[in-house]
Amino acid sequence: MQAWQLQEAKARLSEVIQKAINEGPQDISLRGRPAAMILSHADYEMLTRPKPSFTAFLRDSPLHGVELEWEPDTALTREVGR
C-alpha cells in the first residue's frame, strides 16, 4: 500500500487509480493524517458483498454431514490444575 499526500494524489489521480487496481488500496493523507483510501472496484465489491449467516457458513462447509464420534464426560467433578 502506498501513501499519497492529497495534493500529489489529485495531480496524479490516474496513476493512483491504476495502482489501486494493480497493487491494492492507496492511502490518501490530508495534512499528514490519514484521510481516505482509494480501492479498486473489485476490492470494494469484496468488502461490501453480503456475508452468509453463521448457520449458512456451517451448512456450506465441506465437513457438513460428517459424523463426529465423541463421548461426553459424565463425571460430576473434575480436577483443577494449580
At 29, which CATH number? 3.40.1620.10
Q: Is residue 78 part of a domain?
A: no
Per-residue pLDDT at 25 exceeds 80: yes
Number of domains in the chain: 1
Backbone angles phi, psi at 34, to 5 degrees: -55, 135
Residue span of the structural domain in which 43 resides: 2-49
Confidence of residue 47 (pLDDT cuts 50, 70, 90): very high
Q: Is residue 64 part of a domain?
A: no
Question: What is the pTM (predicted TM-score) of this model?
Answer: 0.62
Task: Check residue 19 and give its pLDDT.
Answer: 97
Q: Is residue 67 part of a domain?
A: no
Q: Is residue 76 part of a domain?
A: no
**Distance of alpha carbon 45 from alpha carbon 1, whole angstroms:** 19
- Beta-strand relationship, 2-5 and 26-30: parallel
Q: Is residue 70 part of a domain?
A: no
Q: Is residue 37 part of a domain?
A: yes
Confidence of residue 58 (pLDDT cuts 50, 70, 90): confident
Q: Is residue 32 part of a domain?
A: yes
